[in-house]
Amino acid sequence: MYAAEDFTPLVLDEKQEEYPKPEPPPYTGWGTEEDSLQSWRNVELKPFVKDWRKEAEKEKYVDCL
The model scores a pTM over 0.95: no
8 Å CB contact between 34 and 24 = no
In the predicted structure, residue 45 carries a pLDDT above the cut 60: yes
pLDDT given at position 63: 64
Q: How far apart are CA 17 and CA 22, in angstroms?
A: 15
Q: How far apart are CA 39 and CA 33, in angstroms?
A: 10
8 Å CB contact between 55 and 39 = no
**Over residues 51-55, mean pLDDT:** 87
In the predicted structure, residue 65 carries a pLDDT above the cut 70: no
In the predicted structure, residue 31 carries a pLDDT above the cut 60: yes
